[in-house]
Amino acid sequence: MLRPAEKHSDFSIAELQQRGPVKLLALHGRLDGRAAQLLQQRCTQMRGPGFEHVALDLSQVTFLASSGLGVFLAETEARQEAGGALYLVAPSQVVATVIRLLNVDRFLTMVPSLDVVLSSISA
């Protein structure tokens, strides 16, 4: 079930159907400062029982500002404190390059697909 997308200029967040214990959000466009605020608000709304694991589909993200990276790091910490995790699913080449260049890939969990997330949680 697709929930209406939240939008900011050329950025949107679509909430996809929850799969098992994982809530999946699909991001599209430029993850700049204002878009990062929208993402942070959405992630904050999804805190609590049943939302410990969140996966962000980043395959359609065309730009990643430091504020977007900050949301990833803050959400990783928040999810870990709740006994869950934040998964960055199929990050675009732009996103993966920024994360690796800034050497924060050791703190963030990047995975190639949602299936990898689901199998790692059930294992």
What single-letter amino acid sits at 74? A
pLDDT at position 17 is 77
Grade residue 24 by pLDDT with cuts at 50, 70 and 90. very high
Domain count, the chain: 1
pLDDT at position 4 is 43
Examine the pLDDT at 31 and tell me if it is beyond 70.
yes
The CATH number of the domain where 55 resides is what? 3.30.750.24
Nearest CA-CA partner of 104 in 112, 95, 92:
95
Whether residue 62 is contained in a domain is answered as yes
pLDDT at position 8 is 60
Whether residue 122 is contained in a domain is answered as no
State which residues form the domain around 105.
6-115
Query: pTM of this prediction?
Result: 0.90
Whether residue 121 is contained in a domain is answered as no
pLDDT at position 54 is 95
Cβ–Cβ under 8 Å, residues 111 and 96: no
